[in-house]
Structure 1
Amino acid sequence: MAPQIKEASGEKPAYAELNNLISEKLGGRILFATDDWFTVAENLLKGEFTEFGKWMDGWETRRKRKPGHDWCIIKLGVAGVVEGVDVDTCHFTGNYVPRVSIQAAVLTPEEEKVIPERKSEMGTEASDQQLKEVEALNSQEWTTIIPRSQAGPGYPSTRHTYLPSESNGRYTHLRLNIYPDGGIARLRVFGYAVPDWSLVSPTQMLDLASVESGGVCLEYSDAHYGHPRNLIGPGRGVNMGDGWETARRLDRPPILVADGKGVLEVSGYEWTVLRLGHHGNILKVEVDTHHFKGNYPDSCRIDGCLLKQGQHPTNFGNDDSLWLTILSPQKMRAHDHHFFEAELEKVGPVSHVRVVIAPDGGISRVRIYGNITPTES
């Protein structure tokens, strides 16, 4: 019996604000693909579209003339929970994949070794021997998290096919199936990391907000030039687009005045809420304005609150009654690292932080270092 075809959503869902678990910068990798004839599967994981543009910026297989369908195996950059995906067929209009599905599994390093060495090269396809070797994974029997679903052509109004996951399990690898062949520009797998917290000592200090720790961006006031989820990405930002940048606030005063500490006195500000990967006590904060020279914020403040699991109040980021100040407003500098430790207030364990910048501008990364504490149920 053929699987039921699932209708996709063209509306951008809430899970599309989460981290892309297969992005190249996070460590996502293509381990195997049945066909790389027109373009290689690695293009699925890239960020922005390249100069190659319409005709070769994605994964496109040959027109299949034998039984079966094309598929590839993807290793997540971090093991975690998949909330949903975006199958983006941008530029693929007469050659897009009409249907897709996704399966998932947890593989050990030893199990991963059975996958034949990847040769990422246009004009190639997997040999019979390579297909036989990868059969040892029995990947066609992995858990189906996205059932067979229709995808849209790569026109601006139909290129994004949003599909929610039907599993809340933790996975390390995905199998993307395309039926039977064609092209996809990008695959984005939205979710959050799930570390093994039993391996972390309560005395160990780590960045509780990072993608690797399971941190996610939940809400924000403005993301005109760059999404605030970039704040918790790995490494330092590669450019301004790899950070959080807001539009200029229209309510900023016509003539700016500073207080005794040099911080501008403005009523307006922008904010983003980050859910930590684990509850913890905040011991150190890092704010990096790397690349932001004429557009860095004047000041930055960090607030925190402790919520029970599953608790998510309405109007979360705007509700000042929920938040305690961890770091009072601190003057920022252009294109520089800022570290704060002695300046932090001891507010006890927190599960979420609110990053507040005034009046507007951009920052590259925020690190929230602390020790884990027992999770409130």
Structure 2
Amino acid sequence: MKLKTYFVDLVSERVGGETLACSDDFFAEMENLLKPGRSIFIDHKYTERGKWMDGWESRRSYGRANGREFDWCIIKLGINGVIRGFDIDTNYFRGNAPQTVSVEACVSNEHPNADTVWQIVLAESKVDAHSQNIFEITNPQTWTHVRLNMFPDGGIARFRVYGEADVNWDNFVEGELIDLASIKNGAKALLVSDMFFSDKNNLIMPGRGKDMGDGWETKRRRDPGPDWSIVKLAAQGSVEKVIVDTCHFKGNYPDTFKLEGLCSDSDDFDASNAKLAWQTIIPQTKLHAHREHLFINEITAAKTQHFTHVKLSIYPDGGISRLRVLGKRK
């Protein structure tokens, strides 16, 4: 299973993931674990402590005799949820990767402490140096924090926790408009026609895009298009307010867009999606460069109608920074 295709990274710093504490990060800081992208290597770059590494690297522990049997890092999930898999990436850690790793998890409303009860979700497992080590998980519980352990010491470049959001709907008041297309609320970008320049999930990330790479951008088409993206909403609901943001897209924003929706019990979309009974929510409408577009009166779907999925079509191609679909849960 392709974890990145079907699930979201629950510990990404972009969704609020945070490294809280570690046993040791003498050579390279624990915060590097959650950085976007894979790590880089800069030859001949050193710090006063040793070789600069783009990851989390502890000093040599010399095992149990030195009082540190293994190293650990506690991480707060940015999105509480069910864990489906891990990517423990030792990229460029060739002679200093750990021998094995394990992952524990807990549920806590505060920072974990000495009294926290941790449960094993990944038993101690071998990892390869300079590799993406993928582990699938079948535990159905919801978690708030994880603890990454490496034996006996060493370096890990990046850590991804792929899973599904478990949203506490009690945190919303009755009648509140909810961004049903927000990754933080459990939405998922399921399928796109093209994501040559950037990832499909950028479209539903929190905040405004920081640059042109922080959006969804397709390559240039040589036909009328459109390109499209299908998003599973966080919950079945109405569509009462839509924001389409072309922030940073100045010479490559789409000329027009259309938003459609449907109700489906399945997330199994493929190229045949064009044959589905998509209903128009906003008809084909003009867009402008580097602008946050607000649509309320343009919505043709009744407030009493409910959708589980939306399809954003852009004509003929281009880049959209963010999509917000605000409505009420059914």
Tell me which of 11, 16, 27 is aligned to 1:22.
Answer: 11
The Cα offsets for residues 279-300 of structure 1, whole Å up to 9 and x where unpaired, read as 1000011000101111111111
Q: Is the 8 A contact 1:209 1:275 kept in 2?
A: yes
Number of equivalenced pairs: 315
Amino acid at match of 1:99: T
Residue 88 of structure 1 deviates from its aligned partner by: 1.4
TM-score normalised by length of structure 2: 0.90
Percentage of pairs with the same residue: 40
Tell me which of 42, 47, 65 is aligned to 2:31.
Answer: 42
Structure 2 portions without partners, runs of 5+: 44-51
Structure 1 portions without partners, runs of 5+: 1-12, 116-133, 253-265
What corresponds to 2:178 in structure 1?
A: 206
What corresponds to 1:62 in structure 2?
A: 59
Rounded Cα–Cα distance in structure 2 between residues aligned with 1:245 and 1:145: 36
SS at 2:11's partner residue? Answer: coil
Tell me which of 289, 312, 322 is aligned to 1:365.
Answer: 322
Rounded Cα–Cα distance in structure 2 between residues aligned with 1:322 and 1:170: 34
Q: CA RMSD in A?
A: 1.9
Residue 226 of structure 1 deviates from its aligned partner by: 0.6
What corresponds to 1:3 in structure 2?
A: none
From the superposition, tell whether residues 50 and 94 of structure 1 become closer, same or farther in structure 2 (CA, over 3 Å): closer
| Structure 1 position 196 matched with structure 2 position 168 | yes
The Cα offsets for residues 157-182 of structure 1, whole Å up to 9 and x where unpaired, read as xx211211221221110011112211
Tell me which of 343, 356, 367 is aligned to 2:298.
Answer: 343
Q: Is the 8 A contact 1:146 1:166 kept in 2?
A: no
| Structure 1 position 315 matched with structure 2 position 260 | no
Rounded Cα–Cα distance in structure 2 between residues aligned with 1:193 and 1:19: 8
Residue 98 of structure 1 deviates from its aligned partner by: 2.7
What corresponds to 1:137 in structure 2?
A: 116
Tell me which of 123, 147, 160 is aligned to 2:123.
Answer: 147
The Cα offsets for residues 136-192 of structure 1, whole Å up to 9 and x where unpaired, read as 224xxx2222222222221xxxx2112112212211100111122111111111223
| Structure 1 position 91 matched with structure 2 position 92 | yes
Amino acid at match of 1:37: F
What corresponds to 2:207 in structure 1?
A: 235
Q: Is the 8 A contact 2:280 2:301 kept in 1?
A: no
Rounded Cα–Cα distance in structure 2 between residues aligned with 1:317 and 1:331: 26
Residue 23 of structure 1 deviates from its aligned partner by: 1.5
From the superposition, tell whether residues 53 and 167 of structure 1 become closer, same or farther in structure 2 (CA, over 3 Å): farther
SS at 2:238's partner residue? Answer: strand
What corresponds to 1:225 in structure 2?
A: 197
- Name the stretch that deviates more: 177-186 or 50-59: 50-59
What corresponds to 2:255 in structure 1?
A: 298
Rounded Cα–Cα distance in structure 2 between residues aligned with 1:317 and 1:201: 38
Amino acid at match of 1:273: I
